[in-house]
């Protein structure tokens, strides 16, 4: 049994360490967390194997044989030494692992010297928005629908929610936390790899939960400064001549495509109505109201409160008009 146990444990640990459990790591916090995970695997696999081996061995060795149906087991009154050993060893292992986990937590939550980059993250069914501080120390009026952070600088997120519980998570950064209506929660990470990484909501928050996704851009410090400059300068006025081709891209980038089907934009979302079908013969005024005030009239078979009600703030009036014209044009035929 001992030989089998040792071999299976070794195989289990090897498999546990070889499996790529986590996505690409893009923050300083990821490494200690991933190492903690590996150490937990090294300790838990042999304990799992030991327990399962003893159970299987006992089932086989002490099983009831024909003719023993009415026999009682031998009267055993405990074994003090054995009980002390099997209580003490797990207690020592647990206290050790908890201490180690606590040290990792303290390490990943440590504040760097100097001011962090502060980002206010607001969750709302079913999108994130990101609010930044301007050079004058005031928050920039325009929010960003995507996250931009500089590489190599600690970032402090303050999480808020406008409606229900959400949970802000960039798996590449590893740490996540709930956004709770009415209170601010915070956490810090230090991005250490330039690239783009998915953002997900990790708390079931309604029918559109699975579409509550975004993109985190980790940029060089110089590119970040330039981007922030652009954000504080405000949105560029939309050029009317470009409105038509832009609208298709807007339809996808504003998140409409995640919930709606629209053949022209190659969108296959099924959370909301199929716009190719329901908008046929509808006038632009109806389409506009459906976007800026979705709960004014609910499409048959759907529920209110699923389509986000804040597109009139997220998009400029020119962008909304472009989407309305685009939807009206592409759903006319057929
Ligand atoms: C989270 C999912 C979701 C997103 C994102 C979303 N919608 Fe909707 N949409 C819905 C649902 C659900 C309905 C049906 C309920 C209602 O009428 O409000 C709907 C209804 C509509 C309607 C009315 C259809 C009808 O026949 O009444 C239009 C038009 C529409 N959406 C356009 C858009 C556009 C344009 C965008 C992007 C700017 C968008 N939607 C983003 C879920 C979504
Ligand atoms: Cu959510």
Instruction: Note the pLDDT tens digit of each residue in 152-204.
Output: 999 999 999 999 999 999 999 999 999 999 999 999 999 999 999 999 999 99
Query: Are 90 and 130 found together in one domain?
Result: no
Asked if 128 and 167 sit in the same domain, the reply is yes
* CATH assignment of the domain containing 300: 1.10.760.10
Task: Check pocket membership of 154 for ligand 1, CB cut-off 6 A.
Answer: no
Of 233, 257, 286, the position where a domain reaches its end is 233
- 143 lies in the same domain as 199: yes
- Picking from 227, 148, 151, the residue whose alpha carbon sits closest to that of residue 194 is 151
Count the domains in the chain: 3
Rounded distance from Cα 215 to ligand 2 centre (Å):
15
Sheet holding 195-201, edge to edge: 147-150, 213-219, 195-201, 166-169, 176-179
Give the Cα separation of 200 and 123 in Å (integer): 11
Closest residue by Cα to residue 7 from 58, 57, 60, 49:
49
213 and 261 co-located in one domain? no
In this structure, the answer to whether residues 48 and 101 fall within a common structural domain is yes
Which ligand number lies closest to the CA of residue 211?
A: 1
Asked if the structure places residue 252 within a domain, the reply is: yes
Q: Which atom of ligand 1 is nearest to the CA of 250?
A: 38
With cut-offs at 50, 70 and 90, classify the pLDDT of residue 243.
very low
Name the nearest CA neighbour of 47 among 102, 97, 100, 103.
Answer: 97
Please give the model's pTM, rounded to 2 decimal places. 0.65
User: Does 73 reside within a domain?
Assistant: no
Does residue 173 sit in the same domain as residue 150? yes
- Other residues' Cβ atoms within 10 Å of the Cβ of residue 167: 20
pLDDT digits (tens, 9 = 90+) for 57-116: 999 998 888 988 888 878 888 889 999 999 999 999 999 999 999 999 999 999 888 889
Owning domain of residue 44: 2-62+80-108
DSSP state string for 177-216: EEE-TTS-EEEEE-B-S-EEEEEEE-S--STTGGG-EEEE
Report the C-alpha gap between 172 and 25 in whole angstroms: 5
Nearest ligand to the C-alpha of residue 254? 1
Is 132 among the domain residues? yes
pLDDT over 90 for what percent of the chain? 57
Instruction: Measure the CA–CA gap between 181 and 84, rounded to whole angstroms.
Output: 48
Q: Does the Cβ of 309 fall within 6 Å of ligand 1?
A: no
CA distance 227 to 280: 40
């Amino acid at each position: 049994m001992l030989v089998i146990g040792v071999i299976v444990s070794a195989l289990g640990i090897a498999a546990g360490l070889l499996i790529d459990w986590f996505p690409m790591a893009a923050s300083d916090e990821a490494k200690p967390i991933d190492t903690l995970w590996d150490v937990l695997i090294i300790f838990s696999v042999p304990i799992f194997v030991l327990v399962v081996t003893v159970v299987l061995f006992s089932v086989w060795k002490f099983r009831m044989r024909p003719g023993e149906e009415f026999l009682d087991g031998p009267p055993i009154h405990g074994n003090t030494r054995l009980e002390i050993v099997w209580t003490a060893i797990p207690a020592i292992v647990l206290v050790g692992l908890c201490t180690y986990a606590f040290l990792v937590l303290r390490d990943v939550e440590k504040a760097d010297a100097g001011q962090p980059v502060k980002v206010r993250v607001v969750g709302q069914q079913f999108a994130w928005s990101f609010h930044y501080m301007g050079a004058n120390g005031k928050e920039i009026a325009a929010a960003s629908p995507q996250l931009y952070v500089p590489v190599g600088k600690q970032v402090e997120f303050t999480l808020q929610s406008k409606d229900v519980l959400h949970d802000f998570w960039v798996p590449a950064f590893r740490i996540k936390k709930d956004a709770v209506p009415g209170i601010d929660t915070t956490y810090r990470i230090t991005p250490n790899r330039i690239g783009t990484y998915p953002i997900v909501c990790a708390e079931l928050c309604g029918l559109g939960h699975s579409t509550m996704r975004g993109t985190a851009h980790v940029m060089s410090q110089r590119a970040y400064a330039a981007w922030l400059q652009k954000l504080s300068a405000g949105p560029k006025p939309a050029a009317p001549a470009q409105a038509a081709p832009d609208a298709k891209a807007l339809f996808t980038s504003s998140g409409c495509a995640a919930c709606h089907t629209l053949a022209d934009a190659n969108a296959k979302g099924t959370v909301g109505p199929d716009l190719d079908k329901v908008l046929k013969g509808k006038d632009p005024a109806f389409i506009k109201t459906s976007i800026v005030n979705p709960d004014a009239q609910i499409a048959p078979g759907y529920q209110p409160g699923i389509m986000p009600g804040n597109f009139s703030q997220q998009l400029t009036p020119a962008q909304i008009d472009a989407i309305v014209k685009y939807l009206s044009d592409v759903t006319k035929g057929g």
